[in-house]
Structures are given as C-alpha cells and as structure tokens.
Structure 1
Amino acid sequence: MSARYRVVAVSGSLHEPSKTTALLRAIAAAVAERIDVDVHIIELTEIGPGLAGALRRDDLPPAVEEQLRAIEEADLLIVGSPVYRASFTGLFKHLFDFIGQYALVGKPVLLAATGGGERHALIIEHQLRPLFAFFQALTLPLGVYASNTDFAGYEIISEQILSRVTLAAERALPLVGYAPVTDPRALAAF
C-alpha cells in the first residue's frame, strides 16, 4: 500500500555529502515521524548534469522530467539551498525555472537553508520566499536555517536546530493535503 501523502525534498546543494541535504533529510524524517508519508529526496548533485544544457522543459532527459513531476505532484515540498554568493545556487533556480507557473499554487512549502554563519540566515526571507511567492505557493511562516557550527561533519548537533526542525514539521502538518487541486488552465486566465 502506498503512503497517503507525498513529501518531496529538493536540495540545492552542488556537493555530496551536503549539510543542506542532511538538514532536509532531518526535516523530512520529522514529518514522517508524525504522519504516513512517502518521502522523495531530489539532489541537484544527481540531476544537475541533465539540467545544465536545457533551455526548455522538452529538452530535459526523462529522469529530470520525472523529478519535475514529483515536485509538481507533492503534497508538501521541503526546499533548501546552501547560501552561495548571497543567494541560492543557480542550478537550484534553473530547476525551478522548469516548474509549471501554476503547478505549485496553494502547495505548502517548507523553506530551509544552510550557510557559513548566522549572517546568511535571511536567505529564507529575501531569496527563497519571493521565489515561491511567484508560484503562489503557501510558504510556511517558519523556515529552518542552520550554519556550519550546527553540524558535526554532516550530522546536526545543535539542539536548537533540532527543536526548530521538530517545530517546523509540526506546523507544516495541518497544511499537508489542504491545497485544493486546481486546473492550471483556469489559473492562467487571471
């Protein structure tokens, strides 16, 4: 029997292993501890080469198209990127350039990021939130930011960050499955 809800986590990291991916896995695990979900992790390190030369969605290889459909069909998105030159990674943005303009309307999106220090924490508000506002997604008010000092290697060691992960998962749950299914063609008329 398949899980009731589909949670898709998208890591904008260009490295493996990755603190960003570790953070997204922790958030997805916190959600999975609370409700029946099927968690799917998308890592740019795996699909990036298939994205790099594409200018249109129909230029993408089938494996990347499959990941785009997973994003569009998710009941909850968990997205995160390391801070790279004061923003999310370019390949992360390129991935979302292929998402249908109305495919994420009303979809709950939990935002996360990692960076070298606390001064980068505003990436969630100044970079990620506006990107998903364009899609008319329901970005959750509570994001999760972790800096290098919150990790030992690629494991979260900060109790404060672990508590925030738990709180973010708990606050996301009431919205999972809430987004109405809408025909994107109807939205295009506006």
Structure 2
Amino acid sequence: MKIVAITGNVTRPSKTRALGEYALSSVPPGHARYLFDLVDVLPVLGTTLWRSEAPAGLATVLDAIQSSDVLVVGTPVFKSSMTGLLKHLFDLFEMTALQGKPVLIFATGKAEAHGEHVEAHLRSLMGFFKAEVRGDFIYAMDGDFPDSAPSAELRARVDRELARTLGHV
C-alpha cells in the first residue's frame, strides 16, 4: 500500500509538516510512505495552469498523489481556509482522479474558530473529487505542539483517525 501526505505549507520548519511526518511514521511497516510540502513545488506550482504542462518535479508530486492508496492532506489555516496554493494543486487534477480514495484531513492554526471553516473547505474539496474522508477532521493549534512536536494527545488523535482511514483499505 502507498500512503502519500501532502501539506499546504510553504515554509519549513512547520507544525503542519510535523503532523504529516507523525502521521506517516504511524503507518504500519511494509507500506510505502511519501511526504510532500507545497514548498517542494514552488514556484512552478503557481505558474502551472494545466497538469499536462506540469514540470517534472510537480508532475512527480501529482502522480504520487493520484497513484496513492491512501492520501493524507494537511494545511496551515490561512484566512480561515486552506492555503490557496493547496487548492490550486488540487485544481490540476481531473474530477475522477481521487474517486474512492481514502483521505485523512487535518489543519493547523492559531484560532479555534477557524477549525470548522477549514474543515468545511477540505471536506468540500474532497467531496468534489468523490474521495472518501472516513475519519474525523483533526485540527491542531499551537498548544498541541510543545517543543515543536505533536503532543501525546494529538498523536493519539492522529493514530485513531489514521487507523480508521487505513482500516477501510
């Protein structure tokens, strides 16, 4: 099984990446794991309008996402939503590209009120593709990252939702 995580962050280090790394580290042995950040495909992502025109590095990320058995999608909150470039990345896929694919979604932010908004955006985006968000949305804030690492409680939430997502594969 191939599990691919994509995070919508454009800088490193990042709490969003730390959570994506933790999720992949929790995948049972024997599965292929890949983690990409938007920073990996900048600046070409912003200037690519069609998938057929994607340069090699961006095409690699798009191919990995589409060919994954399970997808993990995380984003920092930006103005109460996902980052615009993450949405643009998904705009490069055909409508059926992620159909039926199990997806775990999460976000990191600073205000509790933003969680429900970004959740709605991510669920709507995955729903458009008919991907299957099977677990609960994970929203983590600064307090969930003591010493820049996910807290024990946050790790437990990720473990639970990852098990729910993988359990359906």
Q: Shorter-chain TM-score: what band? A: over 0.9
TM-superposition CA deviations, 1:82-119 (whole Å, max 9, x none): 11011000110110001121011100000010001322
2:72 is aligned to 78
Is 1:106–1:138's contact at 8 Å kept on the other side of the alignment? yes
Q: Which runs of 5+ in 2 are unaligned?
A: none
> Any idea what SS the aligned residue of 1:121 has?
helix
1:13 to 2:13 alignment: no
Is 2:77–2:118's contact at 8 Å kept on the other side of the alignment? no
Amino acid corresponding to residue 88 of structure 2 in structure 1: H
Is 1:113–1:123's contact at 8 Å kept on the other side of the alignment? no
Within the candidate set 115, 137, 140, 1:143 is matched to 137
Amino acid corresponding to residue 39 of structure 1 in structure 2: R
* Residues 140/48 of structure 1: CA separation in 2 closer, same or farther (3 Å cut): farther
- Give the TM-score, by structure 2 length: 0.94
> Identity over aligned residues, as a percent?
36
CA positional deviation for 1:48: 2.2
Distance 2:104 2:29 in 1: 16
1:174 to 2:162 alignment: no
CA positional deviation for 1:160: 2.0
Alignment of 1:1-190 (within 5 A): 5-30=1-26, 32=27, 34-157=28-151, 159-176=152-169
Distance 1:84 1:153 in 2: 23
Q: Which deviates more from structure 2 when the two are superposed, residues 127-136 or residues 164-173?
A: 164-173
Larger Rg: 1
Q: How many residues align?
A: 169
Distance 1:93 1:68 in 2: 13
Q: Which runs of 5+ in 1 are unaligned?
A: 177-190
Distance 1:22 1:52 in 2: 24
Q: Which deviates more from structure 2 when the two are superposed, residues 97-106 or residues 146-155?
A: 146-155
CA positional deviation for 1:124: 4.7
- Give the TM-score, by structure 1 length: 0.84
